[in-house]
């Protein structure tokens, strides 16, 4: 009988403990109302704008809880995280994340990232714990594509004439904020599959590179190809621009002048030949006339 009372007493305390924990669990409340970003694709020189709203309700004397925004890369590693927010009640928060601060590594032209809303809960006495992601948003980071324009570039150059021109690199429209500033660009000149010239340059504050190349030492007579390559960096895709030009022995003006002189020379030769032929014909007629007179006398 005594043993039966002891068992009943133990069951009573177990039930009391269970009800008590049930009250704890019942008292804990969380709701995620929204998690948003301003767009789905970003360039590497932009910022991610994040907005979230949520609600927490718990007993901070016996429970610990917080939420946090985390950004993961494709390898499931955390590359950025916000502060931990443990405020009880409804809350809204905004974050601005500079993408360049994430130090992303581009294996190709884009990078897939994930924003996650993380929830943590711990009941201190029982050590019951919850760690969960309430929402995940996938988005892309991409590099920009650049363009270029040639300034003062000639398609035909006289051999011996120095090659001098400018190249401006930009993205989108030709505005000041679109210039590629302090970017490395490689220039090559190739003729008959032989590299005649190769040098790296840095763009200035207007996205411009000034090029000066002596034609005698660095260019070949005939067709040449100018190839500029934006070297690999975190903001722009590696891209090549190719332009063809020709090195002439004579300039167009000199060629035209030479052709004109040749025509004049040929015309002079024709006139001389015609004059000599006419003179010979006249002399022959005089000779025939003279021969007739001699014959008449005899």
Domains of the chain: 25-142 (2.60.40.1930), 147-248 (2.60.40.2550)
Query: Which range is least confidently modeled, 6-10, 12-16, 42-46?
Result: 12-16
- Name the residue with higher pLDDT: 29 or 267: 29
Task: Report percent pLDDT > 70 for the chain.
Answer: 71
Q: E strands, the chain, where?
A: 29-37, 41-43, 47-57, 63-72, 78-81, 89-98, 110-123, 128-142, 147-151, 156-158, 163-170, 184-191, 194-202, 208-213, 222-230, 239-248
Tell whether pTM > 0.85: no
**Measured distance CA(161)–CA(216) in Å, rounded:** 8
pLDDT at 160: 84
30, 94, 131 from 89: Cα distances, Å: 9, 17, 19
Q: Tens of pLDDT along 223-239? A: 999 999 988 777 888 88
pLDDT band at 249 (very low <50, low <70, confident <90, very high): confident
Chain mean pLDDT for the chain? 80
pLDDT at 76: 93
Q: Tens of pLDDT along 138-183? A: 999 998 888 999 999 999 988 888 889 999 999 876 565 689 999 9
Whether the per-residue pLDDT at 111 is higher than 80: the answer is yes
With a CB cutoff of 8 Å and minimum separation 6, the contacts of 132 are: 118, 119
| Residue 48: strand, helix, or coil | strand
Contact 133, 35 (CB under 8 A): no
């Amino acid at each position: 009988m005594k043993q039966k009372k002891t068992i009943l007493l133990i069951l009573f305390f177990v039930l009391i403990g269970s009800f008590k924990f049930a009250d704890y669990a019942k008292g804990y409340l969380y709701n995620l109302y929204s998690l948003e970003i301003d767009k789905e694709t970003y360039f590497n020189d932009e910022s991610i704008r994040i907005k979230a709203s949520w609600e927490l309700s718990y007993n901070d004397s016996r429970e610990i809880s917080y939420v946090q925004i985390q950004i993961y890369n494709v390898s499931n590693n955390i590359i950025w995280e916000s502060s931990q927010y443990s405020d009880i009640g409804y809350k809204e928060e905004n974050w601005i994340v500079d993408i360049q601060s994430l130090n992303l590594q581009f294996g190709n032209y884009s990078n897939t990232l994930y924003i996650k809303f993380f929830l943590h809960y711990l009941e201190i006495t029982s050590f019951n714990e919850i760690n969960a992601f309430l929402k995940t948003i996938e988005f892309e980071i991409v590099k920009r594509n650049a363009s270029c324009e040639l300034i003062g570039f000639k398609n035909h150059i006289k051999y011996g004439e120095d090659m001098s021109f400018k190249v401006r690199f930009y993205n989108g429209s030709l505005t000041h904020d679109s210039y590629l500033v302090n970017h490395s660009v490689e220039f090559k000149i190739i003729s008959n599959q032989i590299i005649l010239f190769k040098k790296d340059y840095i763009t200035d504050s207007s996205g411009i590179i000034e090029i000066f190349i002596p034609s005698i030492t660095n260019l070949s007579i005939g067709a040449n190809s100018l190839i500029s390559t934006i070297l690999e960096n975190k903001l722009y895709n590696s891209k090549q621009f190719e332009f063809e030009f020709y090195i002439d022995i004579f300039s167009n003006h000199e060629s035209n002048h030479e052709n004109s002189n040749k025509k004049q020379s040929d015309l002079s030769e024709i006139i001389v030949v015609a004059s000599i032929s006419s003179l010979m014909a006249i002399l022959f007629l005089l000779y025939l006339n003279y021969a007739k007179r001699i014959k008449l006398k005899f």
